[in-house]
Structure 1
Amino acid sequence: MSSRLTRWWRRRSLRTRLTVIAATAIAVSVFVAFQIASELLAWELQDTVKDQLRADSRVLAANAERAGLAQVQLPPHPGSGRLVRVVLPDGSIRTPDGQPALPPVSENALRVVQGASADLMESGDSDDDGYVIYTLRVGAGAVQVARVADDSPINQFGLGMLLIGLLCVVSGALVGRAVARTGLAPIDRLTAAAVRVAQTRNLDADIPDEGGGEIRRLIQSINDMLAALRDSRRAQQLLAEDAAHELKTPLTSLRLNIELLIRLDRRGTLDSGLPAESRTRLLNDLGAQVAELSTLAAELTDLARGDVSDESTELLDLADVVVAAASQARSRAPDVEIALDVTSVWVSGRPAALQRAVLNLIDNAGKWSPADQPVQVRLRALGASAVLEVDDAGPGIDAADVPRVFDRFYRADSARALPGSGLGLSIVQRVVDAHGGRAGVARSARGGALLRVDLPVATNSTVDVRMPNGAPERSTVVPPLSRE
């Protein structure tokens, strides 16, 4: 039963719930008020009846003292009102003519007659009538005055309270319904607006900001969510458009070269129609284009994932990441010399993402660095930052290109002939932003480009890290990687 009621309640609308709650609250309030008022009224009526009985008994007692208990005159009963009787010393009683019979004299009343106490107030209920009887000792006997315990005023009061309560419950339900409708009107409009957005897929339609308090904060939160979705959709569209543009050139070149090979092969003139030198150059070109497409696909995948990553953040030595990235870069480009000058600096980050960013910086510098000049990679701690610098001795970056160096797919005019997708530095920017750092570009002392990354040092970087021989953490210089 309880689970069924719970399921029913959960299926009700918020408006219905508020109406039921309002009506229930009013009903409970009316019931509690009725109980308290009934008790107070009953106590007041009982006090009034007892005071009247005491007053009437004193008048009867005065008459009995003057005339005696056996001779005092008891007027005939008028048919309603108080009831009286005289209790003589021997326990016998006298009552007015025509008066209804009272319950027998109780043992407590007899003790009053015997002088155990001066008076006694009794109340009792029977199947027929209940009486309130006051006994007052007079001489060697006592007089008793009684009234029928009348509950009709309380019953009438209860009926009135019941009618008022029902009226209040109905009125409360109606008022609660109206209040719920008025209070939830912004929610209804918000729901309708959200439904329109879901149906039309139009994320540009902001929901009007109305109301105050929680409603206004809810609307603002939904508008902020819509703005974030708009930005995400625009970013996706831009990424798709840029990717389509960048993929067009290598795919077209691949298609043309492969079609040429297919035509020559079908004619049987692959060996005679295409000299060995041209065939080697064509195959090398195909391999380079496939490698470029693979790199572009990997970088597009990395960008499309955004900040979504299964890699956890950990405390790491950035020097280890830089050394690993340099080793990977050298394996990919053996002809590029990389000189490392790194100091152990502890940061909080994602190792794989940071290594990818450092690798992209080194790859970018390797494209521009002359054959006789190494790419210099420096890492040091500067205040609360870990500063990574990648320095090449190339022609440098034009001032007009500096603001767009980290943009997606942007490639300077001088870099059009070089391999690459224009995504490497944008990935660096995203990784650095995700780690709370900043990336910048300047001209190096050797005339080339100087790419700099600043990352915040880990707050617990003061951990005493020991070398294998037990020596404390050090500042070290890793020898440059020479050519083979």
Structure 2
Amino acid sequence: MSGPGREPRRPARWWRRLSLRTRLTVIAATAIAVSVFLAFQVASELMDRELRDTAENELRADSRVLAAAAERAGPARVELAPYPGAGRLSRVILADGSTRTPAGQPALPPVSEHALRVARGESADLMESEDTDDDGYHVYTLRAGDGAVQVARATDDSPLNQFGFGMLLIGLLCVAGGALVGRTVARTGLAPIDRLTAAAVRVAYTRDIDADIPDEGGGEIRRLIQSINDMLAALRDSRRAQRLLAEDAAHELKTPLTSLRLNVELLIRLDRRGTLDTALSARSRTRLLDDLGAQVAELSTLVAELTDLARGDVNDESTEALDLADVVVAAATRARSRVPDIEIALDVTPVWVSGRPAALQRAVLNLIDNAGKWSPADRPVQVRLRAEGASAVLEVDDAGPGIDAADVPRVFDRFYRADSARALPGSGLGLSIVQRVVDAHGGRVAVARSARGGALLRVSLPAAT
């Protein structure tokens, strides 16, 4: 059962199901049909008015000739020529209301009260339109002597009918021509879109996004093609980034997985032989188990960072106004719990920003973890937060050896690790995640040398108003 509000939508749904080419054809044909109809109405009205004015002028001229004769001889004695069988009709109206008509003339409509008043001299001349069952007449009454004369012509609609028939034929031809022209224009105008559609279908079918769609046309079509090419370029970049991420992840996972597999296979082999207790001393077993635990932890960290990095900017966490000082303190607390030996010196002031709390805390935690790897045990990692103008500035300062100038351009690349850092734990993803989070918040991150000789990582984020 259809609701009351669904019925008006059916024409709209029918219209939307039509192709764009058919819509343009219908619109063109409809526009021409409406134009022809309006032109016919205007032309018919002008032609009818012109014919009526011409007929009335002829009646006035004929009545003046007959009135002059009636005034000379008198209405009762004026000679009326026999009716020739066609043309105008005439009669004389006497003061008593009686009439005289030419011999053989068809009967005219009865004399109207207004015409009798003209015959009695009570009114001026009169133009009337009389309609009978068979014909209609234009009748002009003019005072003549002590009576009046009337001249009439039968209304002739044949010129208008012929004109209307001609306009109908012209209108049909124009509508058909307009539909043909609209179809041709639509086909020509939509040809670039057809080629664009074919190219898009080809890309969807072959999954080949390396070839751009040829740029053709102008205006909206060119902008559409450029937008699709930009989309294809973005897809290519995304596919390239995914492929690079997969290759780098496979490379980084290979080493810890190989080491973990070898250690586990060694334990399994010794256990099957029953020589686990005799082949490995308690100290060796403890060291092997610690090594396994470290490798599992490294794999867990790497997988977590890969997952976070692969998600990109897709995040369900909502943006909110927050105090960045709270985020920094929470990140420092997590860093101390993960690495109890790390010493962190905080110097933070409240600065409000608009951002995602968990993402920002992850970025700060990565900065502190990176600094903690390099800073000596007796030299704390210094974390400073302050407001500078319209920005919140976070600085993480370590007292390590610093970053070589050759490594600075690549320090935020995925999986990049300097030669001096390859022996240290880590995946090479921490600073890459930092840059992604900072970029997503409209900020900047930079590397410099600190006053203590180590690395200084400086993050600037827009402060909230």
Deviating more after overlay: 176-185 vs 449-458:
449-458
Which whole-Å deviations, capped at 9, do the CAs of 1:21-68 have from their partners, x for residues lacking one? Answer: 000100010011101110111111111111111111111000000011
Tell me if the contact between 2:109 and 2:130 (Cα under 8 Å) persists in the aligned partners.
no
1:48 equivalent to 2:22? Answer no
Aligned to 2:61, the other structure's residue is in SS state helix
CA distance in 1, matches of 2:247, 2:145: 119
1:143 equivalent to 2:138? Answer no
Which whole-Å deviations, capped at 9, do the CAs of 1:381-417 have from their partners, x for residues lacking one? Answer: 2232222111111121122211111110011111111
1:67 equivalent to 2:89? Answer no
How far off is 1:115 after superposition?
Answer: 2.2
Match of 1:373 in 2: 379
1:265 equivalent to 2:257? Answer no
* Unaligned segments of structure 1, at least 5 residues: 461-484
1:37 equivalent to 2:43? Answer yes
CA distance in 2, matches of 1:5, 1:310: 41
1:279 equivalent to 2:285? Answer yes
1:346 equivalent to 2:352? Answer yes
Instruction: In structure 1, give the amino acid aligned to 2:116.
Output: L
Match of 1:416 in 2: 422
CA distance in 2, matches of 1:356, 1:390: 14
* Residue pairs, 1:102-117, within 5 angstroms: 102-117=108-123
Which whole-Å deviations, capped at 9, do the CAs of 1:74-121 have from their partners, x for residues lacking one? Answer: 111111110000011111111111111111111221122222202111
Match of 1:398 in 2: 404
How far off is 1:6 after superposition?
Answer: 3.4
Match of 1:312 in 2: 318
Aligned to 1:101, the other structure's residue is in SS state coil
Count, aligned residues: 459
Which whole-Å deviations, capped at 9, do the CAs of 1:306-348 have from their partners, x for residues lacking one? Answer: 1111122222211111111101100111111100011222222
1:120 equivalent to 2:157? Answer no
CA distance in 2, matches of 1:116, 1:245: 119
Deviating more after overlay: 414-423 vs 310-319:
310-319
Match of 1:477 in 2: none
How far off is 1:3 after superposition?
Answer: 4.8
CA distance in 2, matches of 1:202, 1:367: 44
Aligned to 1:159, the other structure's residue is in SS state helix
How far off is 1:430 after superposition?
Answer: 0.6
Match of 2:33 in 1: 27
Match of 1:131 in 2: 137
CA distance in 1, matches of 2:124, 2:65: 16
Match of 1:299 in 2: 305
CA distance in 2, matches of 1:83, 1:114: 22
Which whole-Å deviations, capped at 9, do the CAs of 1:183-211 have from their partners, x for residues lacking one? Answer: 11110111111111111111111111111
Instruction: In structure 1, give the amino acid aligned to 2:163.
Output: F
Match of 1:255 in 2: 261
Q: Which residue, out of 176, 182, 189, partners 2:188?
A: 182
Which whole-Å deviations, capped at 9, do the CAs of 1:154-209 have from their partners, x for residues lacking one? Answer: 00000111111111111111111111111111101111111111111111111111
CA distance in 1, matches of 2:408, 2:140: 110
CA distance in 1, matches of 2:25, 2:80: 64
CA distance in 1, matches of 2:74, 2:343: 139
1:240 equivalent to 2:246? Answer yes
Deviating more after overlay: 424-433 vs 202-211:
202-211
Q: Which residue, out of 4, 11, 17, partners 1:11?
A: 17
Match of 1:194 in 2: 200
Which whole-Å deviations, capped at 9, do the CAs of 1:338-373 have from their partners, x for residues lacking one? Answer: 000112222221111111100000001111111111
Aligned to 2:90, the other structure's residue is in SS state strand
How far off is 1:2 after superposition?
Answer: 5.7
CA distance in 2, matches of 1:16, 1:385: 57
How far off is 1:9 after superposition?
Answer: 2.1
CA distance in 1, matches of 2:235, 2:385: 38
CA distance in 2, matches of 1:77, 1:169: 48
How far off is 1:4 after superposition?
Answer: 4.6
Tell me if the contact between 2:319 and 2:356 (Cα under 8 Å) persists in the aligned partners.
yes
Match of 1:431 in 2: 437
Instruction: In structure 2, give the amino acid aligned to 1:408.
Output: R
Which whole-Å deviations, capped at 9, do the CAs of 1:430-457 have from their partners, x for residues lacking one? Answer: 1111111111112212221111111122
Tell me if the contact between 2:109 and 2:132 (Cα under 8 Å) persists in the aligned partners.
no
How far off is 1:147 after superposition?
Answer: 0.2
1:152 equivalent to 2:149? Answer no
Tell me if the contact between 2:74 and 2:146 (Cα under 8 Å) persists in the aligned partners.
no
CA distance in 2, matches of 1:154, 1:81: 19
Match of 2:4 in 1: none
What's the % identity of the aligned pairs?
85
Match of 2:3 in 1: none
CA distance in 2, matches of 1:326, 1:451: 15
CA distance in 2, matches of 1:116, 1:420: 121
Match of 1:473 in 2: none
CA distance in 2, matches of 1:353, 1:257: 35
Aligned to 1:246, the other structure's residue is in SS state helix
Match of 1:356 in 2: 362
1:455 equivalent to 2:457? Answer no
Q: CA RMSD in A?
A: 1.2
CA distance in 1, matches of 2:29, 2:55: 38
Aligned to 1:348, the other structure's residue is in SS state strand
